[in-house]
């Protein structure tokens, strides 16, 4: 995979996450991460991927606590996609 492909795919996944937030502040955080994913050097992408995964996890927890199972399921799907892509691209380490 090339650096541009990895950055673009991470940006795309962040865009998908942004569609399932329901919160303007979190949407802004996701937009910020998306811009960073598209502009930072390759060496910074693992940090962006980790932040993306942490944010997706927080969203899932919030939806679960609030009993919003439909949104939780959609967020969990994106969270899983970020995890799978991050590990396959070498941005995240599978413990």
Query: For 20-51, what is each residue's pLDDT tens digit?
Result: 987 888 899 999 999 999 999 999 999 999 99
94 assigned to some structural domain: no
29 belongs to a structural domain: yes
pTM score: 0.90
pLDDT (tens digit, 9 = 90+) per residue, 47-90? 999 999 999 999 999 999 999 999 999 999 999 999 999 999 99
Quick check: is 7 in a domain? yes
Please check whether residue 58 lies inside any domain of the structure.
yes
**Residue 93 domain flag:** no
Give the separation between CA 32 and CA 45, rounded to whole angstroms: 13
Burial 53-71 (b: 16+ CB within 10 A, else e): bebbeebbebbeeeeeeeb
Q: What domain range is 46 assigned to? A: 3-88
Long-range contacts of 11-14 (CB under 8 A, 24+ apart): 11/37, 11/38, 13/52, 13/78, 13/81, 13/82, 13/85, 14/52
In a domain, 61, yes or no: yes
Count: domains in the chain: 1
Residue 95, domain member (yes or no): no
């Amino acid at each position: 995979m090339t650096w541009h492909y990895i950055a673009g795919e991470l940006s795309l996944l962040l865009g998908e996450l942004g569609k399932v937030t329901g919160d303007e502040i979190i949407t802004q955080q996701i937009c910020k991460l998306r811009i960073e994913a598209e502009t930072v050097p390759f060496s910074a992408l693992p940090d962006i991927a980790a932040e993306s995964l942490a944010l997706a996890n927080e969203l899932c927890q919030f939806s679960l606590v609030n009993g919003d199972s439909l949104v939780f399921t959609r967020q969990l799907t994106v969270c899983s996609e970020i995890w799978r892509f991050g590990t396959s691209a070498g941005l995240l380490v599978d413990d």
